[in-house]
Chains A and B, each alone.
Chain A
Amino acid sequence: MTTLDPATPAEVPTAPKAPHPIRELLIQRTLLGLLTLFLVSVVVFAATQVLPGNAAYAVLGQTATPDSLHLLEHRLGLDRPAIEQYWTWLSHLLRGDLGTSLVGQQRPVGSLVWPRVLNSAVLVLLAGVIGSIVGVLLGLWAALRRDRPTDHVLSVTSLAVTSLPEFAVAIGLVFVFATNVFRIFPAVSPIPPGEKPWDEPQMLVLPVLTLVVVVVPYIFRMMRAATIEALESEYVEMARLKGLPKTAVLLRHALPNALPATIQAIGLTFLYLAGGIVLVEYVFAYPGIGAGLVDAVTDKDIPVIQFIVILLAAFYVFMNIASDVASLLASPRRRIPR
C-alpha cells in the first residue's frame, strides 16, 4: 500500500517504519483471539452440557427410559464431573475428534458439517464481495451528489432497507422472483449432497441476493459518511485550491482517507454474515452450516451444535483480526509508532 498521506509529508523514514506496529498488533490480537476462543468454548460447553438440567433427558424427551438415559449420559460423559467433561471434550475437539451426531445414522460430526462449511463459505463470499462492491460504489456516488435528489433517495432507501429482517427480505424476493410476479429463479435452493454450489448457479441467486440487499445499506452509509468527512477536510480543500483536477482530488487525496472506515465496514459485514446466513439458509433450505445449526437445535443434536457454534465464533475472531490489520495497513498515519 503506497497511499499518499498528506498529513505527514515531513516524516522522512529514518528507520524502516512499516512492520512494527502491525506485527505487534498481529501478535497481540492473535493471543487475545485465542483467549477469546478458549472462553467461547467454555460458554458453548456450559450452555449445552452443564447448565440447564440434563442434556440427555432433553435429547431423548418423552421416549426416555432409565436405560436409554444412562446410556446417553455415559456417551455424552454426563456422569462425570463438569471440569473433567469439559477437558475431555476440548482435548477431543483440538485433536479433530468431533464425536458423532446423536440423531439419524449417527454419522461423524465432521462428515456432516464440513460439506456444509463449503456451501456456506461460497454464500458468504459471494454476498460479501458483491455487497461490498455495490455498497462502496453507491456510497461514493451519494457522497459526491451530497444533498441532491440522488443522495436523498439512496439515503432514505438505505435507512429503510437496513432495518429489514433477512427473512422478510427473503419472502419478498421469493414473491417477486420465484413464485408470483416473475418465475425466474427457484424458490428454494437445496443443493443435493455431493454437488457443489457452483454446479447450480441459479440456486445461489436468491440467497445471495437476499444477503446483498441486507448488507449493502450498511456499507453504503459508512462509505458515504467516510467520503463526506474526507471531502470536507482541509487537505482536500487545499488540493482543490491548488487546482488539481477533480478526479485527482478524489482518487489521491479523499479516497485513501476514507479507505480505513470502508474496510472496517466490510469487515463488519462479513461478521454480520456469519449470523445472517442462519435465517437465509433456513428460508431457502440451502444446505450450509446456518441451516445445519437450526436443524441441530431442533433435533437437540448437541455435538453438531457445539461444533458449528465454535466454527462461527472462530470465524468471527479471525475476521476481526483480519479487518483490524487491513484497516491499519490502509491508514499510513497510524502505522507510525507514536
Chain B
Amino acid sequence: MTAPAKDAPEVDVPRVRRSELGHVLRDTVRTTRGIVGLGLTGLVLLVAFGGPFVAPYDPEEYVTAPFAKPSALYHLGGDNLGRDVFSRLLCGGWQLIVMAAIATVIGVALGAVAGIYAGYRRGLPDTVVMRAVDVLLAFPQIVFALLLVSVVGPRDWLLVVAVGLSHAPQVARVLRASTLDVSERDFVKAVEITGVSTPRIMIGEILPNLVTPLMVEIGLRMTYSIVIMAGLSFIGFGLPPPQPNWGTMINENRIGLTLNPWAALSPAIMIALLTIGLNTFTDAVTRVALGVDRKEAALAVAGPSLVAPPAHVASTDTGAGS
C-alpha cells in the first residue's frame, strides 16, 4: 500500500530537477494508488473521448419512452425525454473534460506566474499579489463562477475563464510559498550575481525546482475543475440543454430516479470515477515526491486555503521542508 520508501534524505530537501519529473511519474505509477488512479482516469477518458464514435444512437434523438427501463436495445434505458441514456453517457463527457482542462491550464498558469513573481520579488509586488489573492479567495469558487456568468449568461469561454480564474489565487499561494523556499538557495543567489534578468531567473532557475508542487497543483485543480464545471452544468449553467453533458444529465433525470435510476446515476458515477481517479493519482504523486504522512497535511492545506496560515501549517506546505 505505502509508497516505496525513497532514499530518506530527499524528504527534507526537495531537490527537484528537470529530470525529476520523469522519476516522480515513474515511481508514482509503481505505487498502488498511482496505478489505480491512472487506471480510473484512463478508463473514464477512454469512455468520454472514444464514446462518441461508438454511441449506438444519436444522443439528441427521441428513441424510446421517457425513463424507460434498461433493455437489450437501450442498455441504460431512456432519459426524461426518451433519449438513449447510454448514447448520451458516451457523448456527454468530452466537452466537460476539455473545458475543465483548459480552465485548469489557465488557472495554474496565472496562479504560477503570480505566485512565483510575488515569491521571488517580495516587497511591493508580493503585497499586491497577495492582497488580490485574499480578495479572490473570499469568493467560494462556484460562487465566483456564478457571479461572472450572472449577467452575460453561460457561454463556453466565459465558464472556462471563470473557473480558471477561480483557481488562480490558491495556486498562487502554494507556489509563492515554494518559491520563497527555492529563491533563498545558493544557486539562485549565484545566478543573481551574474546579472541575469528576473524573468530568466524565474523561468530558468526557479520554475524547474517547482515541478513537484506544480504537478500536484495541476492534479488538484483538474479535479476541482471537473467538480465545478459539472456542478455548473448541474444547476443549469453549462452547455445549452439539447447537448448531452454529464452534469446536466444528472439534473434532468433525477426526477425519474424511481423509474430509471440509471439515467441519473450513470453520469454521476462517471464524474465520481474521474474525480476519484485524478485525486488518487495526485495523492500518489505527492506521496512519492515528498514522503508519506506529512504531505497529507500539505495536500489538505493546498485545498481551500487560509489567508495566512500559521507557521506550523505553512511549514507543511507543498515543497517546503520543515
* Chain A contact residues, CB within 8 Å of chain B: 29, 32, 35-37, 39-40, 43-44, 47-48, 51-53, 55, 58, 147, 152, 159-160, 162-168, 171-172, 174-175, 179-180, 187, 218, 221-222, 224-226, 228-229, 260-261, 264-265, 267-268, 271-272, 274-276, 278-279, 282-283, 293-294, 296-298, 300, 302, 305, 309, 312-313, 316-317, 320, 323-324, 327-328, 331, 334
Contact between A166 and B231, CB atoms less than 8 A apart: yes
Contact between B303 and A218, CB atoms less than 8 A apart: yes
Contact between B131 and A278, CB atoms less than 8 A apart: no
Which residues of A sit under 8 angstroms from B28, Cβ to Cβ? none
Asked if B257 is at the interface (CB within 8 A of a chain A CB), the reply is yes
Which of under 10, 10 to 19, 20 to 34, or 35 or more describes the interface residues of B?
A: 35 or more
List B221-270 residues whose CB lies under 8 Å from chain A.
Answer: 223, 226-227, 230-231, 234-237, 247, 250, 254, 257-258, 261, 264-265, 268-269
Provided the pairs A167-B250, A320-B307 are in contact, do residues A229 and B293 lie with their beta carbons within 8 angstroms? yes
27 A–B contacts from the bound complex (CB under 8 Å): A32-B134, A36-B134, A36-B135, A47-B147, A47-B148, A160-B280, A163-B275, A163-B276, A164-B272, A164-B276, A165-B227, A165-B230, A168-B269, A222-B296, A224-B296, A260-B312, A271-B306, A272-B304, A274-B143, A276-B140, A278-B143, A282-B234, A294-B146, A297-B149, A316-B137, A324-B307, A331-B310
**Chain B, interface SS category:** helix
Closest 5 CB pairs of A and B: A275-B140, A163-B279, A225-B297, A313-B138, A163-B275
Contact between A313 and B139, CB atoms less than 8 A apart: yes
Which residues of A sit under 8 angstroms from B280, Cβ to Cβ? 159-160, 163
Residue-wise, chain B 155-199 has the 8 Å CB interface mask toward A (1 for contact) of 000000000000000000000000000000000000000000000
Chain A nearest Cβ from B84, distance in angstroms: 20
Contact between B138 and A48, CB atoms less than 8 A apart: no
Which residues of B sit under 8 angstroms from A43, Cβ to Cβ? 135-136, 139, 147
Asked if B294 is at the interface (CB within 8 A of a chain A CB), the reply is yes
Q: How many A-B residue pairs have CB under 8 A?
A: 205
Contact between B235 and A282, CB atoms less than 8 A apart: yes
Q: Closest residue to A299 on the B side, CB-wise?
A: B150
Residue-wise, chain B 285-322 has the 8 Å CB interface mask toward A (1 for contact) of 00000000110110111011111111111001000000
Provided the pairs A58-B153, A300-B150, A316-B137 are in contact, do residues A309 and B143 lie with their beta carbons within 8 angstroms? yes
Contact between A334 and B139, CB atoms less than 8 A apart: no
Which residues of B sit under 8 angstroms from A282, Cβ to Cβ? 234-235
Known A172-B265, A275-B141; 5 more pairs at CB < 8 Å: A159-B33, A165-B227, A180-B257, A272-B140, A300-B151
How far is A302 from B230 in the complex, measured between Cα atoms in Å? Answer: 24
Which residues of A sit under 8 angstroms from B108, Cβ to Cβ? none
Contact between B135 and A55, CB atoms less than 8 A apart: no
Contact between A168 and B272, CB atoms less than 8 A apart: yes
How far is A152 from B292 in the complex, measured between Cα atoms in Å? Answer: 13
Contact between B310 and A175, CB atoms less than 8 A apart: no
Q: Closest residue to A323 on the B side, CB-wise?
A: B306
Please indicate which of the listed interface residues B137, B141, B269 has the most CB atoms of chain A within 10 Å of its own CB: B137
* Chain B contact residues, CB within 8 Å of chain A: 1-2, 33, 131, 134-143, 146-153, 223, 226-227, 230-231, 234-237, 247, 250, 254, 257-258, 261, 264-265, 268-269, 271-272, 275-276, 278-280, 283, 293-294, 296-297, 299-301, 303-313, 316
Q: Closest residue to A39 on the B side, CB-wise?
A: B135
How far is A323 from B25 in the complex, measured between Cα atoms in Å? Answer: 36
B265 in complex: contacting residue of A175, A312, A323, CB < 8 Å: A175
Which residues of B sit under 8 angstroms from A274, Cβ to Cβ? 140, 143
How far is A168 from B276 in the complex, measured between Cα atoms in Å? Answer: 12
How far is A60 from B247 in the complex, measured between Cα atoms in Å? Answer: 28
How far is A320 from B305 in the complex, measured between Cα atoms in Å? Answer: 10
Which residues of B sit under 8 angstroms from A294, Cβ to Cβ? 146, 235-236
Which residues of B sit under 8 angstroms from A229, Cβ to Cβ? 293-294, 297
How far is A32 from B301 in the complex, measured between Cα atoms in Å? Answer: 22
Contact between B152 and A226, CB atoms less than 8 A apart: no
Please indicate which of the listed interface residues A218, A297, A323 has the most CB atoms of chain B within 10 Å of its own CB: A297
Contact between A58 and B297, CB atoms less than 8 A apart: no
Contact between A40 and B306, CB atoms less than 8 A apart: no
Provided the pairs A225-B297, A278-B142 are in contact, do residues A264 and B135 lie with their beta carbons within 8 angstroms? no
Which residues of B sit under 8 angstroms from A226, Cβ to Cβ? 297
Chain B nearest Cβ from A28, distance in angstroms: 10
Q: Closest residue to B299 on the A side, CB-wise?
A: A221
Chain B nearest Cβ from A186, distance in angstroms: 13
How far is A260 from B316 in the complex, measured between Cα atoms in Å? Answer: 13
Contact between B258 and A179, CB atoms less than 8 A apart: yes
Q: Closest residue to B137 on the A side, CB-wise?
A: A316
Which residues of B sit under 8 angstroms from A40, Cβ to Cβ? 135, 138-139
Chain B nearest Cβ from A270, distance in angstroms: 10
Which residues of B sit under 8 angstroms from A320, Cβ to Cβ? 306-307
Chain B nearest Cβ from A160, distance in angstroms: 5
Please indicate which of the listed interface residues B234, B236, B309 has the most CB atoms of chain A within 10 Å of its own CB: B234
Which residues of B sit under 8 angstroms from A163, Cβ to Cβ? 223, 227, 275-276, 278-280
Contact between A165 and B283, CB atoms less than 8 A apart: no
How far is A262 from B154 in the complex, measured between Cα atoms in Å? Answer: 38
Contact between B313 and A264, CB atoms less than 8 A apart: yes
Chain B nearest Cβ from A117, distance in angstroms: 15
Q: Closest residue to B152 on the A side, CB-wise?
A: A52
How far is A190 from B131 in the complex, measured between Cα atoms in Å? Answer: 39
Chain B nearest Cβ from A43, distance in angstroms: 6
